[in-house]
A = this chain, B = another copy of it.
């Protein structure tokens, strides 16, 4: 495959730039060690052709991920971490406004505490990594690495919470967790170590807990829709899919049209009083009576970034929404024949400065040992939202050429007032990326009312919306019946935004009266 680079071959007349994209051009400096060729030029797989390989190529060639020598662990490179930090810079102040405080609990947890909540440990036990040795001596008892921190934190909630004035207790930590999974490690989406924030809160009343669950879920929706430009569905998980040990789980669910798989984007759980019971988190209420707290926990992880890559990426590489891209505008000089290169370069630098002064994250790539064509491909691979090219003719006309990464459209912009124009374009790209993604996602939604329709839609990689009786046994049955090489279908969520359910509607699977509309599909 050609990596899709043809599309942006320059078609401008005037002969000012003739460079074609150089596919997989040899880098100017040769490796003394004979390693893989430099990144940035062409993918060998297409998104439609072989999605898995394409994804792996995009995240590595786009310099987001480096595969690590320990399977299931990945190196998050600066191009990734800039996105992570931007999301953090939105989310962290938002929860601080809600009076949620930052804390940090240890990485390690003892077996005794880990075992305390039965459903919880059943859910996590197979994936727990155990430290049994330090230096050359065995530990007296093995110590677990946190797969999540409920059991790490709640003994201390019990200690700290005594009266109603100690409530609410609202904590959040930014940390790494470890889940030693064996199935299909995938960068960002399923890795043995990942970064996340985990919020853990305790309230005097269920009402307050319920309210927070939805407030946090709304922040997760905003992260996906406003920052990552990925449409999500807010909803409630089924009993089978809810958090181990919790009362109910809400989530934002994304969908990858190419694979027809849903992906749980982030979760906001109400734990009810289950952990409170196990960990004795009691308080004296205003009447002086002993009561038990209501708890929530909620998290989003680096998985968010993988979902974004899967949704937006194309055959030329990453496509990053402007809001989260480390570099929003890349400025490239286009030398031509006898034109004064220095002058063009100066114009590029001046342009970058003007844009940066307006708060736009702009950079120039003025390397002389790479051709413009090579650079176009390189920065397209890295997904930079907007490219600005400046050549002699542009200079003469007091203009620049701007090329959008998301749709390849090109436009000449007058240098005067460039900053405002670029700002507008970036906003437009952000919105347009969301709209396009939503259109694609919506086109995949298929309403099915019978088992046959369901199976057909599943085969067509649809995001299935079906009336369901909401019975756990029925979901288990559907899973069993659809179990195949590519994984069983399961519920993704019951959307909060429920279509009308006419009386007498039957469950597509059991034929019993349907209680709600639920999204079904295969998932990550």
> Which residues in A have some Cβ–Cβ distance to B below 8 Å?
27-33, 35, 38, 66, 68-70, 73-78, 80-82, 84-85, 101-110, 113, 125-136, 142-143, 145, 155-156, 158-160, 162-166, 171, 175-176, 178, 180, 193, 195, 280, 282-284, 290, 367, 369
Distance (whole angstroms) from the CB of A159 to the closest CB of chain B: 6
A168-B216 Cα distance, complex, nearest whole Å: 41
Check if B131 sits within 8 Å of A103, measured CB to CB: no
Most buried by B among A29, A156, A171: A29
Given A69-B113, A108-B193, A178-B107, A125 contacting B135 (CB threshold 8 A): yes
Given A29-B162, A107-B193, A132-B133, A102 contacting B75 (CB threshold 8 A): no
Point out the residues of chain B lying under 8 angstroms from A158, CB to CB.
33
Check if B176 sits within 8 Å of A75, measured CB to CB: no
A185-B241 Cα distance, complex, nearest whole Å: 42
Point out the residues of chain B lying under 8 angstroms from A74, CB to CB.
106
Which 4 A-B pairs give the minimum distances between C-beta atoms? A29-B163, A78-B101, A134-B180, A73-B106
Given A30-B284, A162-B33, A282-B32, A103 contacting B75 (CB threshold 8 A): yes
> Other than the known A33-B280, A66-B159, A75-B103, what 15 A-B pairs have Cβ atoms closer than 8 Å?
A29-B284, A32-B162, A68-B105, A69-B155, A75-B104, A75-B105, A78-B101, A81-B102, A104-B195, A126-B135, A127-B134, A130-B131, A130-B133, A131-B131, A133-B142
A-side binding surface: helix, strand, loop or mixed?
Answer: mixed
A375-B178 Cα distance, complex, nearest whole Å: 42
A159-B29 Cα distance, complex, nearest whole Å: 14
Check if A129 sits within 8 Å of B125, measured CB to CB: no
Please tell me which one of the listed residues B29, B77, B103, B176 contacts residue A165 in the complex, with CB atoms under 8 A apart.
B29
A113-B108 Cα distance, complex, nearest whole Å: 24
